Amino acid sequence: MNVLTRCFVVVIAGAVLAGCATGFPRASAPFDAPDGLDGRAVLARSLSAHGGDLRTRPGDFNYSSDGRWYSLIQRIQPVVSDAGYRVTSQARYSPSQGRYAVRHQGPKGIKQVVRTAGAIEVHYDGVRVTDPDTLSATAMTSDAFELFHFGPSFLNARATRVVRMPDASEAGRRYLRVLADIAPGFGEAPSDQVVAWFDPQTYLLYRVHMTLNGFSTTQGAHVDTTLTDYRELGGVMVPTRFHERVRGPLQIDAHTWWVTGIDADRGWQPSDVADGRFTGPAARPAGPMR
């Protein structure tokens, strides 16, 4: 197949976007790095730098965020982006319980999600939905956001194989890379792959490049998200700015968002994030950022 054949051309609303997409990075064999660290060792150092495995930490993390969806991704993936609802967000995460709850708000109304291992509950404006496509897409995006905000713990929990890849450079800075096979994958996917980039000085996670096998219209696609502006929260390092790009089968900007408030250890319970509402200790908005 020649270069022209590999180019992906999409026509939407009279706009023509033409470009050659990048393939998902592969590792045919582990990279023998000069520092002597294999993939598992790099991930372990990052886990420590971020504050340890969150699954062993009691308590909760809470954040508020705001963001912007780019127009083309809304047209290509309307169910996944769900941009009429997913603009500002209040998130509540209890890693020891394996519970991730998010209350989104946008021009169309309020969407609340509760994600636990193997289960997803979604309410729109207080009404629970059972549409399979909505549940499948929401499960995938919820798992992805857990990775974005709490990356090394997510990878440590799901990685079945971690392979060191050659380092990569961007804007004159070098990054360590590992390829992780994860199972389960994002949402309903049996498995996915993630290439994680780490800062070689701090071992903080800089980027995740991931497959999206959990929804029918994203199978074969891959995206990356860059994580910056870390803050310390309850002994854990968390990123506060994010930029997501589609890398294949076409290359476009997808989503930019930023944390506007963070706090920890409110002591909310599962009942406080159930039935399409945030109540009790979960109700108060997180923040503000200082």
Domain residue extents for the chain: 3-282
User: Has residue 9 got a pLDDT over 50?
Assistant: no
User: Has residue 290 got a pLDDT over 60?
Assistant: yes
User: Has residue 276 got a pLDDT over 60?
Assistant: yes
Domain spanning 3-282 has what CATH number? 2.50.20.10
User: Has residue 11 got a pLDDT over 80?
Assistant: no
- The owner of tokens 């939407």 is 12
| pLDDT for res 35 | 87
What percent of the chain clears pLDDT 70, i.e. is strictly above it? 92
| pLDDT for res 286 | 94
Amino acid residing at 136: S
pLDDT in tens, 154-203: 999 999 999 999 999 999 999 999 999 999 999 999 999 999 999 999 99
Checking DSSP bridges between strand 159-170 and strand 127-128, what pairing results, if any? unpaired
- Dig out the tokens for 26 from the structure: 């592969």
What percent of the chain clears pLDDT 90, i.e. is strictly above it? 84
Residues 58 and 96: beta-carbon distance below 8 Å: yes
**CA distances (Å), origin 43, targets 145, 177, 193, 200, 205:** 19, 10, 15, 12, 9
DSSP letter for each residue of 156-220 = HHHEEEEEEEEEEEETTEEEEEEEEEESS-STT-S-EEEEEEE-TTT--EEEEEEE--SSTTTTT
pLDDT in tens, 203-212: 999 999 999 9
Give every CB contact of residue 93 below 8 A, 6+ residues apart in sequence. 60, 61, 62, 99, 100, 101, 146, 149, 150
Residues 183 and 160: beta-carbon distance below 8 Å: yes
| pLDDT for res 234 | 84
- Dig out the tokens for 263 from the structure: 């706090």
CA distance 231 to 256: 18
Burial 181-202 (b: 16+ CB within 10 A, else e): ebebbbbbbeebbbbbbbbeee
| pLDDT for res 13 | 29
pLDDT in tens, 57-92: 989 999 999 999 999 999 999 999 999 999 999 999
Could you tell me what percentage of the chain is helix, strand and coil, using 3-state DSSP and rounding each to the nearest 5?
20, 40, 35
pLDDT in tens, 111-123: 999 999 989 999 9
CA distance 288 to 48: 27
CB atoms within 10 A of CB 178: 26
Helix (H) or strand (E) holding 275: none
| pLDDT for res 165 | 94
Of residues 79 and 1, more confidence is placed in 79
